[in-house]
Structure 1
Amino acid sequence: MTEQPVDPDVTALLARLGPPVPVADVTADEMRKGMRDAIDAFTRDAEPIAVHEVVDEVVPGRGGGIPVRVYRPRTPTAVLVYLHGGAWVAGDIDTHEFVTRRFSRDTGATVVSVDYRLLPEHPFPAQFDDSWDAVSWAAGLHPDLPLLVAGDSAGGTLTGCVALRARDEGGPRIDGQVLVYPATDDDLDTPSMLGDTGDPRITRDDLRHHFHRYAPPGTGTPYAYPGQAASLAGLPPAVLVIAGHDRLRSAEEDFARRLREAGVPVTVQLDPELVHGWIDFAPCIPAADRAFTRLTHTVSHLIRTGTTPSWPS
């Protein structure tokens, strides 16, 4: 499952972050501060990424106004709605500023970064509702351009579920989904869940805690995890990014297989030397920077052609 060792720069970075603490012992506020502090450290020496125009807006949602940050190039190629990671508890449009600016610069898309409501103050499906409402709003920005939905980790999960609902309800039209190491299922007994990933930060117990807090058994909605959908047929082309050293890997590989069997174009980007969360490391880790470049090349191909490339990423 972990055929290639963790990139040595990543290993050194994880060591500098200090020993991991079980997430059950960390409050939501502590988790949020920890993520902000880590992102500040990762981006401290990064070159600023210029975008023609950046505007903060509030869009209507069933749970109230949803803050979004819109990155507009001079001549957009597409609209890309971005849903941040953070286990549905942490993260916001500020923690993912580097990520969203880079997506806009490298793909030419107008990027809409969504500050969806977080757990535990706002139980599920608040996160999904905000994501859906923001995508529905963004669909009206440039109706003549492709509309993509993208996200990392928890945001990747929400991305897949938004695509499912758009299929089920006949719109808005989504032309592509970009899922960066998403939780596609809450199965804790897959090979990667039970094996040694080489990444001490995220344990099986941590994920059990996250999953239970997010959508405990009996939640009663088909839009918690995309891999739990009965059928994946009719979904938009997908770019699925898998980190080699990630407890979510087995479920993601199964999701990719099911997409292909359902006739959905899918490009899998496997980064065998990287761990969950690598997109946040890209400003300071060369291997993560290269992986980000591969990703934006693939997304640009999807925008240009309407399908995912057949080349291995």
Structure 2
Amino acid sequence: MPLDRFIRSLIAWQGAGGPPVPDRALTVEQARERYRASSARPFREDGHPHAAVASADRTIGTEDGSSIRCRVYTPESDERRVITFLHGGGWMLGDLDSHDRACRMLAASLGAVVVSADYRRPPEFPYPTPLRDAVAATRWTAESFPGREHVVAGDSAGASLSLGAAMDARDNGGPDLAALLLVYPPVDPSLRIAAACAYAEGYLLSVEDMVWNYEMYVPDPERRNDPAVDLLNADLRGLPPTVLATAEFDPLHDEGVRLAEKLAASGVPVRHVPGPGLVHGYFLMQDMVPAAAACSRLVVDELHAVLRPFSAPRAT
């Protein structure tokens, strides 16, 4: 399918003054500010389709005695579901505000409480700290909202952490998870699959961007062989049913497809949602790109079908 025309216009607009400066050429703080400016559009309650979702910031204790923030979203409709959400942004750029709208959409569409975890980020806190914080958030959510269907979800780097947290839950006595939602996850730190992808450059995320992200997240190359980082080669057996979304024009597309295939081969029920015409990051473009909004709704419908196989998808 051709690249979506709205996204094509966005890429053309960004390049109108010459090639954009890549994040890796900026300081970490400059890159974070750029990501925040492009992702965190102010939320206005008047006329917003998810205005009925309330939010409050809380604190989660971590295993090393520190604490992290989380934002708890409570929808008007309560379907006895709860989602631990781990934001993307190359492990180092995103935060609670960058993914506020996405979390409100999930809460409203699924009737689920959403706990968005502000895990500590590299380079200040490299691997395994972000993953340990993701595990702590998953456990906190289960303890704070017992008796609900529990989903761990994330986009991009957050999807990587979500899969790692689900593996930890499987191997270390829970919590029990009803489903996983992985939106364009990075799972091959060697980047060989991404480098061979037809869309390795020129579509908002590049392979060189991912090189920089992994260098910040896992500065020790030897640790990139850990199963929680080299997820494509990890033992995936015994994981919960998974909805896995990819984007067509994304360097991570092919490794996402391979992950879906390996999950299925490992006996995990998988629903793969392709993103035809879309790029990495479309989950944050729902209010700007109609095709991104439509695909995001399909992702939510697939997750709803996993949680309630015999009921119709909820209107979004």
Structure 1: stretches of 5+ with no match in the other structure: none
Q: Check the 8 A contact 1:185/1:226 in 2, yes or no.
A: yes
**1:119 and 2:109 correspond:** no
Of 301, 306, 315, which aligns to 1:297? Answer: 301
Change (3 A) 1:22 1:110: same
Change (3 A) 1:233 1:46: farther
What's the offset of the Cα at 1:170? 2.6
Of 264, 271, 274, which aligns to 1:267? Answer: 271
Q: How does 1:109-258 map to 2 (within 5 A)?
A: 109-190=112-193, 192-197=194-199, 199-215=202-218, 216-219=220-223, 221-229=226-234, 231-258=235-262
Structure 2: stretches of 5+ with no match in the other structure: none
**How many residues are treated as equivalent by the alignment?**
303
Change (3 A) 1:136 1:5: same
Q: Check the 8 A contact 2:248/2:274 in 1, yes or no.
A: yes
Paired letter, 2:232: G
What's the offset of the Cα at 1:305? 3.5
The superposition leaves residues 86-136 of structure 1 with CA deviations (integer Å, 9 ceiling, x where unpaired) of 001111111111000000000001000011111111111111011100100
What's the offset of the Cα at 1:211? 1.6
Q: Check the 8 A contact 1:71/1:110 in 2, yes or no.
A: yes
Runs of 4+ aligned residues of structure 1 deviating over 4 Å after TM superposition are 40-46
Q: Check the 8 A contact 1:164/1:226 in 2, yes or no.
A: no
- Specify the alignment match of 2:96 in structure 1: 93
Change (3 A) 1:259 1:8: same
1:193 and 1:156 mapped to 2: Cα distance? 20
Higher RCO (Cα < 8 Å, 6 or more apart): 1
Q: Percent identity?
A: 34
With the length of structure 1 as denominator, give the TM-score of the two structures: 0.90
What's the offset of the Cα at 1:62? 2.1
Paired letter, 2:4: D
What's the offset of the Cα at 1:48? 5.7
The superposition leaves residues 249-276 of structure 1 with CA deviations (integer Å, 9 ceiling, x where unpaired) of 1111111111111110000000121000
Corresponding residue SS for 2:58: strand
Q: Check the 8 A contact 2:86/2:154 in 1, yes or no.
A: yes
Corresponding residue SS for 1:252: helix
RMSD of the alignment, in Å?
Answer: 2.3
Corresponding residue SS for 1:139: helix
1:258 and 1:76 mapped to 2: Cα distance? 31
- Specify the alignment match of 1:33 in structure 2: 33
- Specify the alignment match of 1:10 in structure 2: 7
